[in-house]
Amino acid sequence: MAYAVITPYIVPVEIQNKKAVNIGDGFILNNLIKLLYPAECKYLFTSRKELSENDIDKINSTKALILAGANQLNDNFIIVPGMSLATLAKIKVPVVPFGIGIHGIPKQNIDMSNTTKEILRAIHERISFSSWRCPLTIQYLNNSLPELLDNFLLTGCPVMYDDKILDDAGFYHQAKTVVVTVTERQDFWDRETKTINFVANKYRKSRKILSLHQDFLEIKSNLQNNQDSIWNTLKIKVLKKYDKTPLSLRNYARDKGFQIFKPTSVDECLSFYNSCDLHIGSRLHAHLYFLSQAKKSFLTYVDERCIGFSNLLEFPICDFNNLNEYFNYDFEIYRKNCINYFTNMQKFVDYLQEKVL
């Protein structure tokens, strides 16, 4: 009952100067493995690099190749770079999407390419069901491949599910330790500083943590050849106190009484979150994880990837200018919807364990 997994959580050395590891992708992988237990994840591969012949041999020594979820599905999705129908034919075991969602960035899910359609059709010739994470993803798939609509299961994301949210225990009400997650890309400054300000003012006596799901400061940009990069501000003495860079956001949070938490592994991050009480911030998978533990969480908008989950589970996407308006949300609405969609997830997991693995 061994399987292999392709995940975006692994960032190859060759692109670490462009791409930061996302701990949220690790959350997905971690919960996927838990859901498929006692089947064993024997091999891990990255979705950011071509598969070698040796990789394919390892995959073929298992029962299935699982494609671990994240926002990977776009108009040109091909599983890994260089994938073709000829390469896919070399993989003799079923290839199974698990909790994958649409890209979420504008113009990435407009018109599915013929190559993507061919690959998804070929995958589904060997499997009865695939798992997709939100209604917007299902709509995109159904519009692009209507002949496969009975194969697409709306399961949500693996990170949504834990015994604590699926049983009848009430949501946790403490706020001794409050976690703020940030997304330090695009026009992040206003959103993240206003969230920090809100938490600093509302929870003056609480321990306050700024948690980094991606450390963009570790990206080794070529500053000499990129004069317009925000990273230029990091190689010279900063003239202003806050210059709207990831580094100055952390200094801003420290000045507001926050500690900085930069997890070095999924286990470290989850262990720390288990000791915390409340989450407010822009990281979707921190939001889903806290809710899975029946702890309150409030998510601010970054891009469209959170809209599908909001539609699925009926939680609010918070305006960072008016965060206090959302604190009367009834979290039992979330629990009810989570339990409802866990039926689909259990159907999918049962199918994999009984028919595929």
Q: Would you state the pLDDT for residue 18? A: 84
| Segment 66-88 mean pLDDT | 96
DSSP characters over 278-319: EEEES-HHHHHHHHHTTB-EEEE--STHHHHHHHHH-PPEEP
Pick the CATH number of 164-335 from 3.40.50.1980, 1.10.10.10, 3.40.50.10140, 1.10.3720.10: 3.40.50.1980
| Beta pairing, strands 152-154 & 207-212 | unpaired
Helix-strand-coil percent breakdown of the chain, rounded to 5?
A: 45, 15, 40
The residue assigned the tokens 């589970």 is: 313
- Alpha-carbon Rg for the chain, nearest whole angstrom, is 21
Tell me the pLDDT tens digit for each residue of 26-54: 999 999 999 999 999 999 999 999 999 99
Q: What CATH number has the domain spanning 2-158+340-356?
A: 3.40.50
Q: Would you state the pLDDT for residue 144? A: 98
CA dihedral 225, 231, 237, 240 (to 10 degrees): 130
Tell me the pLDDT tens digit for each residue of 267-324: 999 999 999 999 999 999 999 999 999 999 999 999 888 999 999 999 999 999 999 9
| Beta pairing, strands 317-318 & 297-300 | parallel
| Segment 167-186 mean pLDDT | 91
pLDDT bin (cut points 50, 70, 90) of residue 12 is very high
User: Whole-prediction pTM value?
Assistant: 0.92
CA 95-7-2 angle, 5° bins: 55
For residue 233, pLDDT over 90 is answered with: no
Domain ranges of the chain: 2-158+340-356, 164-335
For residue 237, pLDDT over 90 is answered with: no
Q: Could you check whether 2-158+340-356 and 164-335 share the same CATH topology?
A: yes
What's CA 8's distance to the chain center, in Å?
A: 10
Inter-residue contact 296 to 172 (CB < 8 Å)? yes
